Amino acid sequence: MADLGTTYLGLELDHPIISGACPLADTLDGARRLEDAGAAAVVLRSLYEEQLRAEAFATHESLVASTESFPESTTFLPEPDEFILGPDEYLGHLARVHDALDVPVIASLNGAAPGPWLDYAPMMEQAGADALELNIYEVVTDPVDTAELVESRLAEIVREVASRTALPIAVKLAPFYTSFASVAARVEQAGARGLVLFNRFFEPDIDTENIEVAPHLELSSRSELLLRLRWLAIVSGRIDADLAVSGGVHSEIDAVKAVMSGARAVQIVSEPLKGGAHRFGEIRDALNDWLDEHEYESVSQMRGSMNLNRCPDPTAFTRTQYIRMILTWRPQD
């Protein structure tokens, strides 16, 4: 039997398959089911910058004025009851889950700009989190916001969090940067212990009958994995931060590809949401069978074997392969 053990953010994991942030861990019983089903670690859903800002605003207004003095505050921010857990409830849930589970529990903060919401990082540490996933989700719409400004803001957030807590920090990023490899290195230098590739932007649709923007959310598919494999392979071996993949992993073969590209942890969400929590154990066992069949002694032996530095054809990840594919493609008969 192959050794499936891995380390991620300094945490010893029995295997790389972990539960990404999702509703399955919103209750203590749900988190226990994830562990029982075979998840090697559990990432809780996020506390949001807007949620924390709204609570701080409401506290202030209860002391000095009605919130209606600032109508925009109630127009654009979600209502408090739209969030699954309030800040205090979240910290209490985190503490209970940490005490109940034997696997690592990773808390999550989600935001886009530096601010007081980052003060919750040390609170999460005090509540028992084993690590922190910092989910940076920014949709840049202002033409005056340059790439340098956006990336500097990102690095500032990471530095601020790292200065507030001793928890190892994994930064969950979107792929939409001018030079993602440079951003990865910059985030690591700012204090990140790991990177999660990638955040999923939920693209709105257009309702042509009602003439309105229609929110649209779909679970991931395997087609999304390819972008993640490319950038895992490119940054693996070039930075020291631990890498995790999020999005597009639905089977042991997907996990093998991610580890070969350099991932230390493989987050799955859509598969257990669709097929049940038992998918963690099934994918773990199938991963072990694959390693045995292909005569690997361990996950670590396989890790990074197909990254840009070690794969047989590094041009497959670069512009050269793009040109070759375009020029040699022919329609099927």
- Residue pLDDT, tens place only, 220-277: 888 999 999 999 999 998 999 999 999 999 999 999 999 999 999 999 999 999 999 9
pTM for the complete prediction? 0.90
Is 63 part of any domain? no
- Residue whose token pair is 């600032």: 70
Would you say residue 67 lies in a domain? Answer: no
Q: What domain range is 99 assigned to? A: 6-45+84-328
Residue 59 lies in a domain: no
Beta bridge partners of 7: 12
Q: Is 229 inside any structural domain?
A: yes
pLDDT in the model for residue 76: 55
- Is residue 324 one of the residues assigned to a domain? yes
Residue 266 placed within a domain = yes
Separation in Å, CA 221 to CA 42, 249, 258, 268: 21, 8, 15, 11
Number of domains in the chain: 1
**CA neighbor of 184 nearest in space, from 263, 100, 240:** 240
244 within a domain of the structure (yes/no): yes
CATH of the domain at 26: 3.20.20.70
Q: d(Cα 282, Cα 64) in Å, to the nearest integer?
A: 56
- Residue pair 136/195 in contact (Cβ under 8 Å)? The answer is no
60 domain-assigned: no
Q: Mean pLDDT across the stretch 38-65?
A: 75
